[in-house]
Structure 1
Amino acid sequence: MIKDEQLREEAMAAANYDDQSRKINQPSRSIFWSRDIASPLFEIVLQNICNEIEGKEERSRKRSIRAHHGFTRMVKALVLDLYVARKSNKRMQLGLPLNKNEYSPTNNYHRMVSFYQSVALSYVHVQSAYKGLEACGYLRTEKKGHFDKEKGKGKRTRIRATQKLMSALEEQAHITLWQIRQLEGCNNIILKDENKDIIPYEHNSQTTKMSENLERINRHLSTFWIDLYLKDTEFEALRRHVWNRHLEDEEALPSIDVSARTLRRIFNNSSWNEGGRFYGAWWLGIPKEYRKYIHINGKQTVELDYSGMHPALVYAEVGVTPPLDPYDMGLENVVRDVKKVAFNSLVNASNKNIKQHSDFNEMDAGCSWQELLEAIIDAHSPIREYFGSGFGLQLQKKDADIAEKVMLRFADMQYACLPVHDSFLVHHALADELREYMEHYYMEVAGAMAKVDGKSILTYDAPVEHKFVDMGNVEEMLSGGEYREYTNRQYQWYSYIDNMNIT
């Protein structure tokens, strides 16, 4: 199905790697405390797990009602996150902080979890939940954490769900990924300082409005089944690709959880005028080559993007019409994508000392990296003052504001619209509407005309034999062949929707 040769090779490698390779570079991420689920069956299983843990504890007296509630909340948080991690990548490990200092109200970790995830952490309850789940065989400690006082650095304890936990949740509680949601009260408008550290802030009318809009968008997206139509081996190849990219860039997502449809906005440099783009949803973390396989409610999608968006936005600042192709400045031997990266780097950076792109080869290009940068500046003399100015983060604020307006418009129409920074994916029949609103809101925010291109006019169409699966026929669903994982997720999604409609 995947026609790109590199992706095909990755799929074959994923299908054939041996057990020894699984022990190398195990995927891991920090634990999330803000998962929730509305399921009476889960609550029964959770209470049984808590009772089992307390039955093994050597306590002189029972916990108070308040303490029992806090303990149960921590068990629930660990159980749900262990489950999600295992489902997104069966080798995924969670980094659990067990340093007592991190649970102090004055500690930055504690403050950030409280402010952004709306969870009040307790060292005592976390320790009890962790030790109890391990003693009862629901989690396994893969590697103990440590802290180097001299260096002031350390590694967190890594844990992973056991089959006992997965069986309890899937066979007794009958939960699926689609039921798990974000805890109410979480703050998805995130502010980072100049060091890229997440910081708290005082709410104002601007952050309140952005929060309300984002909550509305997230609530709307949660009603759609958004998935990748891939063979099982190809999906595994994608998992490995994403993990390898995470090893190179910690900001990149470490795994693919197709139930992660919650967006968040991230602002930079302690400013509400810099950044603000949307992150968090799974489709933002996959290679662009895979976007054509994204389906919404099992239907094909179309992706449209703004052509040369950031160059056009900079030119709009000076009231000058941009070139038809802002990335054409001669130098035919330089790959266009390299020119594009170099241009955007010049606009984003606070100086003109831009690190050479990894794909740039001086011999092939026929020029030096510095000569390329100078050619870009000369070709765009009307906006010369913006190069090396750090203005790019303000452009990100504008493109994110445009994206917010486009998504809200589609929410009004009761259709899903998936953002990918300067592009969007919608049901293929909505291509004309998407183009219209992209152009309209670009003019509204930037005060200029937009050029909208189709990145994939029609995405991959499933073969007939795989396209229609009878959701009432479990035997047919389970015999999905090469697409078994996809059809299983399809069955789980529509079962979840049916139960939601009943309740």
Structure 2
Amino acid sequence: MTRWLVDTPAKSKHDLAQRRQQFWKPRAIGDEVWQGRDRDRALRLSWRCNEYEFAKCLDLPLAGSAKNVRAMISVAVDAVHTALHFPELRVSCSRRNGWWQETRRYRDPDFTYYNVVPAIDALLEAGILVDYDLQPAGRSTGVQSSYRPAPWLAEIILPELRYEVGEVIRLRDAEGRLIDYRDNDKTRRDRAMLAKINRSLAEAAIDLDVPAAVRDANAIRLDGYSVFPGMTSLYRVYKGGWDRGGRFYGGWWQSCRKTHRQHLTIDGHRTIELDYQQIHPRLLYGIAGRHLEGDAYTIPGWDRGVVKKAFNTLLNTQDFKEARGAIAKNLGTDRDTAEWLMLDITMRHPDIKSYFHSGIGMTLQNIDSEICRQVLVEMYRKGIVALPVHDSFVVAEEHEDTLSQVMQTTFDAVAKTAKKLF
């Protein structure tokens, strides 16, 4: 038994096999995907500051051209930022020229392989970066080279930083790597839409009214983590194609814990957060032409949070064995317990069981991201600032009714369209 089971009698493997045969049809097992070690914090070249003011804080090695100087300052600013707020993390960065060519869309044109990599080497030689883990050239391990900022960088007081989001429409392959793409009507539409919304977010005074928070020029330190109010621009991320993923990221409020988000203010006004409860189960039932009765994640004998995690895993895996293994790993339990949970979820949702372990999760994300896009556009047209948090939105309390109406109308319209796609 595990700590998630509540007074549930033990089941034999024979019972499990019988119930699996009743509710699941076998699927072909896909190729295993290589998984390397956990990635460190990727090098961010998005922070900008007054170069003269930064030079007062840190003596940098000599650089050649103005582009070399810009690259070195950006790497150094990221190092100080990491030392201050993420001291336990390494910073990873590719030394493969091809990678810099393939992802140039997502960076400032000055930040090329020939400017950034030499800047890193110079900062390493100067002792500003340390503990360099250089990966062998030409060896495809999926692991990038990495380093640590020198610990003493945490004592530096940075000047005021500004954040440049760069490309706001981002495409990743199935493994999560950023890839280049050709613009189309959809990307041009989304980019124009985000330019307007990001401008309105930048003009709004978005703050956090938490007395215990510790502030400096660039960060708000909360209970064990930091957020960065300069990060107000949204960007959209697709994964594996334009019909997969597409959620909005980038706003600093998305990094706040829910207990802290309730203290957000917009232009000095208290806020309210409304969310689409059980959005993926509701979408699936709508696609199946059925109605969801009760709470999708409430199953006798199981903790609701555990059921929710397992349910989402069933939507994001490709076959039964992958789903069972992922659930066991995510919940820290054995495979028999994971299988029993999977079977109970299927018993609870027979009308949508054909979508389990089918890989539909990213498609559902695409649908919920389209709902989010339309809500943001409609609220923008009404002159109301709305802060997206994937399947929820934060607005000033006075706009609660308007947001609620827009969310319901948008969900109904998009769900109706989505049903025609299946």
TM range (shorter): 0.7 to 0.9
Map of 1:141 onto structure 2: 129
Instruction: Please give the root-mean-square deviation of Cα atoms over the aligned residues, in Å.
Output: 3.6
Per-residue CA shift, 1:236-258, capped at 9, x if unaligned? 56335xxxxxxxxxxxxxx5323
| Aligned partner of 2:259 among 283, 289, 293 | 289
Map of 2:91 onto structure 1: 95
1:212 deviation in Å? 1.6
Pick closer, same or farther for the CA change 1:233–1:440 going to 2, 3 Å: same
Q: Distance in 2 between matches of 1:299 and 1:86?
A: 34
Q: Distance in 2 between matches of 1:314 and 1:123?
A: 45
Is residue 283–residue 415 contact of structure 2 (8 Å, CA) maintained in 1? Answer: yes
Map of 1:193 onto structure 2: 173
Q: Distance in 2 between matches of 1:218 and 1:45?
A: 27
Q: How many matched pairs?
A: 367
Is residue 93–residue 159 contact of structure 1 (8 Å, CA) maintained in 2? Answer: no
Whether 2:182 is the aligned partner of 1:202: answer yes
Whether 2:22 is the aligned partner of 1:32: answer no
Per-residue CA shift, 1:32-57, capped at 9, x if unaligned? 223445xxxx255468899x868x67
Pick closer, same or farther for the CA change 1:77–1:386 going to 2, 3 Å: same
Q: TM-score, length-normalised on structure 1?
A: 0.63
| Amino acid aligned to 1:371 | W
Map of 1:464 onto structure 2: none
1:426 deviation in Å? 1.0
Q: Distance in 2 between matches of 1:191 and 1:410?
A: 26
| Aligned partner of 2:230 among 259, 277, 285 | 259
Pick closer, same or farther for the CA change 1:283–1:49 going to 2, 3 Å: closer
Map of 2:204 onto structure 1: 224
Map of 1:379 onto structure 2: 348
Map of 2:30 onto structure 1: none
Q: Distance in 2 between matches of 1:164 and 1:391?
A: 44
Per-residue CA shift, 1:457-497, capped at 9, x if unaligned? xxxxxxxxxxxxxxxxxxxxxxxxxxxxxxxxxxxxxxxxx
| Aligned partner of 1:277 among 247, 259, 263 | 247
| Aligned partner of 1:315 among 264, 269, 285 | 285
Map of 2:27 onto structure 1: none
1:151 deviation in Å? 7.7
Q: TM-score, length-normalised on structure 2?
A: 0.74
Map of 1:158 onto structure 2: 148
Pick closer, same or farther for the CA change 1:125–1:384 going to 2, 3 Å: closer
Map of 1:441 onto structure 2: 410
| Aligned partner of 1:213 among 193, 203, 208 | 193
Q: Distance in 2 between matches of 1:93 and 1:374?
A: 39
Pick closer, same or farther for the CA change 1:122–1:207 going to 2, 3 Å: closer
Pick closer, same or farther for the CA change 1:379–1:46 going to 2, 3 Å: closer
1:402 deviation in Å? 0.9
Is residue 35–residue 77 contact of structure 1 (8 Å, CA) maintained in 2? Answer: yes
1:351 deviation in Å? 1.9
DSSP-derived class of the 1:199 partner? coil
Pick closer, same or farther for the CA change 1:165–1:414 going to 2, 3 Å: farther
Pick closer, same or farther for the CA change 1:147–1:327 going to 2, 3 Å: closer
Q: Distance in 1 between matches of 2:294 and 2:309?
A: 18
Pick closer, same or farther for the CA change 1:232–1:123 going to 2, 3 Å: same
Map of 2:388 onto structure 1: 419
Q: Distance in 2 between matches of 1:77 and 1:324?
A: 52
DSSP-derived class of the 1:295 partner? strand
Map of 1:336 onto structure 2: 304
DSSP-derived class of the 2:314 partner? helix
| Amino acid aligned to 2:99 | N
| Amino acid aligned to 1:238 | D
Is residue 100–residue 113 contact of structure 2 (8 Å, CA) maintained in 1? Answer: no
| Amino acid aligned to 1:304 | L
| Aligned partner of 1:71 among 68, 73, 91 | 68
Pick closer, same or farther for the CA change 1:91–1:298 going to 2, 3 Å: farther
Map of 1:238 onto structure 2: 223
Pick closer, same or farther for the CA change 1:94–1:281 going to 2, 3 Å: farther
Whether 2:272 is the aligned partner of 1:302: answer yes
Unaligned runs of 5+ in 2: 1-38, 418-422
Q: Distance in 2 between matches of 1:425 and 1:322?
A: 26
1:294 deviation in Å? 2.5
1:80 deviation in Å? 4.3
Is residue 134–residue 141 contact of structure 1 (8 Å, CA) maintained in 2? Answer: yes
| Amino acid aligned to 1:339 | V
Is residue 100–residue 112 contact of structure 2 (8 Å, CA) maintained in 1? Answer: no
1:127 deviation in Å? 5.7
Is residue 338–residue 360 contact of structure 1 (8 Å, CA) maintained in 2? Answer: no
| Amino acid aligned to 2:91 | G
Q: Distance in 2 between matches of 1:433 and 1:391?
A: 31
| Amino acid aligned to 2:230 | S
Is residue 92–residue 160 contact of structure 1 (8 Å, CA) maintained in 2? Answer: no
Q: Distance in 1 between matches of 2:130 and 2:307?
A: 44
Map of 1:406 onto structure 2: 375
Q: Distance in 2 between matches of 1:127 and 1:368?
A: 48
Is residue 83–residue 153 contact of structure 2 (8 Å, CA) maintained in 1? Answer: no
1:306 deviation in Å? 1.2
Map of 2:106 onto structure 1: 116
1:134 deviation in Å? 7.5
Greater helix share, 1 or 2? 1
Q: Distance in 1 between matches of 2:375 and 2:150?
A: 40
1:434 deviation in Å? 0.9
Is residue 92–residue 144 contact of structure 2 (8 Å, CA) maintained in 1? Answer: no
Q: Distance in 1 between matches of 2:177 and 2:403?
A: 35
| Amino acid aligned to 1:73 | R
Unaligned runs of 5+ in 1: 1-26, 58-62, 171-175, 241-254, 449-503
Is residue 229–residue 295 contact of structure 1 (8 Å, CA) maintained in 2? Answer: yes
Q: Distance in 1 between matches of 2:315 and 2:60?
A: 56
| Amino acid aligned to 1:78 | V
Q: Distance in 2 between matches of 1:122 and 1:196?
A: 21
1:440 deviation in Å? 1.2
1:81 deviation in Å? 3.2
DSSP-derived class of the 2:297 partner? coil
Per-residue CA shift, 1:97-128, capped at 9, x if unaligned? 484xx3x3xx124421x111243434554366
Q: Distance in 2 between matches of 1:151 and 1:374?
A: 39
Is residue 118–residue 187 contact of structure 1 (8 Å, CA) maintained in 2? Answer: no
- Which shifted more, 69-78 or 210-219? 69-78
The structure with higher relative contact order (CA 8 Å, sep 6+) is: 2
Map of 2:14 onto structure 1: none
Map of 1:429 onto structure 2: 398
Is residue 262–residue 280 contact of structure 1 (8 Å, CA) maintained in 2? Answer: yes
1:76 deviation in Å? 4.0
1:375 deviation in Å? 2.4
Q: Distance in 1 between matches of 2:90 and 2:268?
A: 31
Map of 2:327 onto structure 1: 356
